[in-house]
Amino acid sequence: MTETSGDLDAILKRLTSELLGLAPVAIYLFGSQATGEVRPDSDIDLAVLLPEGKALSALERFDIIDRLQRIANRQVDLVVVNAVRLPLQFEIIHTGRVLYESSFDARTDAEDIIVRDYLDLKPMYEQNFREILEAAKEGAATQHV
């Protein structure tokens, strides 16, 4: 049986309600469910932007993921935006869908900082990526000799 967008929306509402206990600035849906590249085995990728100075321990995050998976009856991944590297932060806010915001201004202020920092560092990320690709090509070439 395939899931309709209405089914997913109902699940997302329940998941969002569960995450409100964290008092997040924002909750995002990202990954394949947000981009429309869904497969039957696709998980649900959620991200929470927490207020400055707030964090989740690994145990808290594990407990929340367990509750979310019981609600969704499928694999759910939870990312704390404040705790991941800048490229993933940018991907979440750039391609994700906002499910909840405590305040438009608070969310967009945080997103503005992420975008600014990402664009400042993007040339360095691209250079590092090119160097990794070049090293991989050289490694593959030496294995064929």
pLDDT of 101 above 90: yes
Domains of the chain: 5-143 (3.30.460.10)
Q: Please compute the mean of the pLDDT values over residues 120-130 and round it to a whole number.
A: 80
Kindly indicate the confidence band of residue 65, based on its pLDDT and cuts at 50, 70 and 90: very high
Does residue 143 have a pLDDT over 70? Answer: no
pTM beyond 0.85, yes or no: no
Are 107 and 98 in contact, with CB atoms under 8 Å apart?
yes
Q: What pLDDT sits at residue 94?
A: 95
25-63 pLDDT, tens digit each: 999 999 988 988 888 888 999 999 999 999 999 999 999
pLDDT of residue 41: 81
